[in-house]
Copies of this chain bind each other. A is one copy, B any other.
Amino acid sequence: MNRVKCIISYDGSDFVGYQVQPNGRTVQGEIEKVLSRMHKGEFVRIHGSGRTDRGVHAKGQVIHFDTYLDLKGEQWTRALNAQLPEDIVVLTTESVDCSFHARFSAKGKEYHYYLYRDTKRNPFLRNYAFHYPYPLEIDSMKKALEFFLGTHDFTSFSSAKSDIEDRVRTIDMFRLVEEEQKLIFKIKGNGFLYNMVRIIVGTVLEVGEGKRKPEDVLEILQAKNRGAAGKTVPGHGLYLYKVYY
């Protein structure tokens, strides 16, 4: 068998999420359907670096699968893209050693979160950026970002529904970029808990609104309680940008 790694991008708007579910269209389901067709009906399981939620996009999600087919990287890319729906694209494909695992070999991830700040809605961005027409103190937000850097217990910044025990994660990059009427949060770390990016962004927005101070982030981290942090921002502004190995 050959193990194949693909970097893929998808528009999350019309998916109920990345992971196969009993009901609804999923990214995993669409790719497995195409692969199974290429393997004469034999089911092929794909493994992603992690799931993304309903409406969440990916510019650099990574998957792997095992196959007896003997295609070269670019042949895989072309064959998959010819059959995949228009909202999923394979960017690159390469052969990898069988010790590689899209999820367990991942060393880190980078997410981007897009805000659209114009006073009026933009119909073309309704699925691609969180419309946030309120004033924001950008300097306070930038100060708040620094408190997330380093290794912390992120219990306060993860969904209370999560039953993962080890909630210690390391954030090694967190930046705020202004591009015309967009404000982009760029965050990179060794791993992220369920809803972690969206709760972090929601909390930083409350700093930007003046409802919290930048240094409040320290207290929130120490509280280890989801109730201490801010709101969860919507999924449609979130992009899985890159997975690091």
Binding site for B on A (CB under 8 A): 9-11, 57, 81, 86-89, 91, 120-124, 126, 128
Chain B residue contacts of A91, Cβ below 8 A: 120
Measured between beta carbons, the chain B residues less than 8 angstroms from A88 are 123
- Chain B residues near A9: list those with CB within 8 A: 122-124
Which residue of chain B is the closest to A58 with respect to CB atoms? Answer: B123
- How many copies are assembled? 2
Q: Closest approach, in angstroms, between the C-beta of A157 and any C-beta of chain B?
A: 27
How far, in angstroms, from A123 to B128 measured CA to CA in the complex? 12
Whether A89 and B121, one on each chain, are in contact in the complex, defined by CB atoms closer than 8 angstroms, is yes
Q: Which of A57, A122, A128 has the most CB of B within 10 A?
A: A122
A86 touching B11, Cβ below 8 Å? no
| Complex contact A57–B89 (CB within 8 A) | no
State the CA gap A81–B128 with chains docked (Å).
Answer: 19
Instruction: Please give me the 3 A-B residue pairs with the lowest Cβ-Cβ distance, nearest first.
Output: A11-B123, A86-B126, A87-B123
Would you mind naming 7 contact pairs between A and B with Cβ atoms under 8 Å apart? A9-B124, A10-B123, A57-B124, A81-B121, A87-B123, A89-B120, A89-B122
Task: Report the nearest B residue to A239, measured CB to CB.
Answer: B124
- Chain B residue at minimum C-beta to C-beta distance from A57: B124
A86-B126, A126-B86 known; A120 vs B10 contact (CB < 8 Å): no
